Structure 1
Amino acid sequence: MEAGERKGILRFCPHRYVRSVLDIAPRELWERGFRGVVLDLDNTLVPWQKEEIEAEVANWIEELKRLGIRICLLSNSLRTGRSQRMAHRFGIKAVGWARKPARSGFRRALEALGTSPAETVIIGDQMFTDIFGGNRMGLYTIMVQPLHPHEFLYTRFISRPPERLLLWYFRRRGHLKEARV
């Protein structure tokens, strides 16, 4: 595991960048010593503000659980009912109104999982919330491409343009690893 707190502009750089959660091999996470996974909900597991989850993603979650990896949904949504319903459906934990990238939400997720930052992965689609917050906490960070272009207007028009620029910069500098995890 090469996690640990990142400094400077690298606080925004994920350890890995993949197309989808399905490109992350649960067995490899286990073999690398990760015992907890913090998952963003919107545009990481399901399209924005939806609850319908694809069968392949549901199977991926079940494989994490079969391996003994604990899972916690971490959502910035003020309406926590949806994340709680989804967590209940899969028998996993959920922390709503996380205020990512604030450390408090990540601390609550780690507490719910009973894991340390060094043995925990955050998987999300947003650099300035999921990845920045995870890197500040010393988690291993994996960024996925958003499932769908429909998202919160602030995210679409304010966050995504500089995110694309930083992804380009990290690729060019050799900081961004785009591979199966």
Structure 2
Amino acid sequence: MNKNTIRILRPDFQYESLKSIPVEDLVKNGIKGLLLDLDNTISPWNDRTLSSEVVNWFQKIKAQGIKACIVSNNRHPDRVAAVADILGIQYVYQAAKPRKKGFGKGLKHLGLGVGQVAVVGDQLLTDVLGGKRMGMKTILLMPIDEREFGGTKVLRFLERLCGRKTYYTRKFARQGMVARRYHDK
């Protein structure tokens, strides 16, 4: 793999979960909007329930004036809409990430430019790759749950081949040893 390929798969920031993203860091980095994945980022795969920590985190970002939109590859609009309604945010379903079109729709919902928005998700090959292709900052999280769509399991295997395991593993996340910022030097 060449350096450009590796760079496009490196998130700008990484955290264990949404609730561990300091809202003040978003503000400090000029982030005014977030395009967030749904499955295993906001809620467990195929689940409409939200933890109180996630709901509280969304209240914190709204209080700081940060806009949010769900951009999901999930093909069930009723599920995506149900979660978006609970959070009071817009959504894009069947986004076909890492393609640009779904991210573009999310940007329109937010009314912001690429330099003001970060993509948040749990997958390198959909969320991080798509966000980088659009020129946005990216934030990689650990998946909420091990249950996931069959196609995602294939992508997880490919992520390990791309080196995700070397810089972000469950073991290190559980031990609190996850770096918050990458330095491409």
Short-chain TM bin? 0.7 to 0.9
Please give the residue correspondences for 1:8-19 in structure 2 after superposition, counting only pairs within 5 Å.
8-19=5-16
Please give the residue correspondences for 1:60-139 in structure 2 after superposition, counting only pairs within 5 Å.
60-139=57-136
Aligned to 2:173: none
Q: Which runs of 5+ in 1 are unaligned?
A: 1-5, 172-176
Q: TM-score, normalised by structure 2?
A: 0.86
Q: Within the alignment, does 1:32 sit opposite 2:29 as a pair? A: yes
Q: Which runs of 5+ in 2 are unaligned?
A: 169-177
Displacement of 1:169 in angstroms is 5.0
Aligned to 1:174: none
Report the identity percentage: 35
Displacement of 1:180 in angstroms is 7.4
Displacement of 1:70 in angstroms is 0.4
Please give the residue correspondences for 1:146-165 in structure 2 after superposition, counting only pairs within 5 Å.
146-156=143-153, 158-165=154-161
Aligned residue identity for 1:179: R
1:115-140, CA deviations, whole angstroms, 9 ceiling, x for partnerless residues?
A: 11111011100111011000100111
Displacement of 1:32 in angstroms is 1.7
1:60-110, CA deviations, whole angstroms, 9 ceiling, x for partnerless residues?
A: 011001110000001111111111121122211111110100100000000
Aligned to 1:178: 179
- Give the secondary structure class of the aligned counterpart of 2:180: coil
Q: Is the 8 A contact 1:13 1:170 kept in 2?
A: no
Aligned residue identity for 1:48: W
Q: TM-score, normalised by structure 1?
A: 0.88
Structure number with higher relative contact order (C-alpha < 8 Å, ≥ 6 residues apart): 1
Q: Is the 8 A contact 2:45 2:147 kept in 1?
A: yes
RMSD across aligned C-alpha pairs, in angstroms? 1.9
Q: Is the 8 A contact 1:25 1:180 kept in 2?
A: no
Q: Partners of 1:71 and 1:134 in 2: how far apart?
A: 15
Bigger shift: residues 147-156 or 6-15? 6-15
